[in-house]
Structure 1
Amino acid sequence: MNAKTAKILDGKALAQKIQTELTTQIQALQPQIGRPPGLAVLMVGDNPASAAYVRNKERACTKVGIASFGKNFPADATQAEVAQAIQDLNEDERVDGILVQLPLPNHLDSVALLHQIDPNKDADGLHPVNMGRLVRGESGLRSCTPAGVIRMLQEYQISLQGKQAVVVGRSILVGKPLALMLLEADATVTIAHSRSHNLAAITQTADILIAAVGRPNMITAQMVKPDAVVIDVGINRIIDYEGNSRLVGDVDFESVQEVAELLTPVPGGVGPMTVAMLLHNTVWSYSQKVNG
């Protein structure tokens, strides 16, 4: 038994805590607004992973008291059909959040559809208007996964001020918005990616290391500064020699837990936080009906 193993950051427990807070908030707001908050998840086709995610989101909605207005389209749905559904939801008074479940079939232009969502109903926080608000440090809807990471760091009282934060990955879903949020919290931020030279030399400088590249076990113990905080955003399904599949992150959990101070597991780390922040965004939009 090694002398030291990292403390685990429990995203599942924190997500449940957030859901409890949201339930209380909804119960307080509902008499003033006269209806529950509403979230619409649009899905095209029958990708099993997407279907599982959507079921998970709808179950979480039911648990906190959010009404679901989901819509499933056949795989051959046209751009015009999905666009019309978004337009209808933009105008529907009962709906506070709209989410298009990605990935979409190749014949659809997902960017054009995301752009069509009313920025104030953009539950995923991916609309250019909300991205712009983040860049400017204005309040608005934030991308769910990065917001979940920040909320987790706050919960565990991990100070970001003046710390070296390295984000490995530059996607519009996680890497870029997360770097901006870390900057907003006064961290010194480096964004690295698969084409960075001497990646290990960069990651070894990190007090807070966040992996969001989608490559199984890419971050090894040698790449981690001793006593760093390591956040694993990756979710990769791998098949072992016996043909069994399991989920692993971008971080090699076994080796890194002997070096890091704090570490998120996969599953049970960032994943549950993404759904919790989706619900949080929906309730935030809903609460604007009173404040706004």
Structure 2
Amino acid sequence: MMSSQIDDDRRMSTRSLPRIGAIEGVDPAVLERGRVSTPSAPLPPKPQEVRPPVRPPTWFVKTTAAVTGILLALFVSIHMIGNIKVYAGPESFNSYAHWLRVVGYPLLPEMSLLWVVRFVMAGAIIAHIWSTLLIRHRGAKHRGKQRSPLLRAGSIISRLMLITGLVLMVFIIIHILDLTTGHMNGTFLSPTAEQSFAYENLINSFSRPLFAVIYAFSMLALAAHLIHGLWLVAADLGVTGRRTRAVWRIAAYIVGIAVAAINMSIPLAVQIGVLA
């Protein structure tokens, strides 16, 4: 009898509990399992990492490298065409050099064209160096310290772009001091208002074997730099067509080899006596 009374009391106690949900602020699922507690607050979402935009944007840097590369390639190509006039003799070559100094005169001051070209090319060189080095830095940063062999450049020419660029920078300085200002040419003849001595200065410079070798070696670096540089222009400007890229590659080889070969022939012709 005593145990029966205890069981009845337990059942009555259970029926007297409020139904699920009757207590405010109580999680029904917890109450059903016999534990009364307030629902835990949801965890706040993790804030997404917002990276600041890259300045300047990569597309702008690549476009700068491509446009300045095209300008520099056009300049060396036109310069090469002018150099061919040396084979026509001193009168033809000196007349061409003198015309560059006085073109536009008297409407424009003398040497206006030369100074415009010099400023444009100087700006193009600075922008080209800045953009290509920035692209190289960002690429190395994204690759990290451990570089996969699959990410290495695919050709020797592409791996030597930095070296050939440095060689060309040194050559530009030497070339200016040799044939423009005459500081590295002891027999340099300064031009006058009526005449240029570009032919004589060129012959005197390339008659020195060291300067002939420096010029020829620099032209090899120029050929390698032009070939791969013009090929990179296609990628930087978003050229994706297979046939277009194939034609572009052929054109890069033609321009690079032609410019270097024609320019290299001049010191060789001086050394063997064809030009004197």
Higher relative CO (CA 8 A, sep ≥ 6), structure 1 or 2?
1
TM-score by length of 2: 0.20
Higher percent of residues as strand: 1
Higher percent of residues as helix: 2
* Structure number, greater radius of gyration: 2
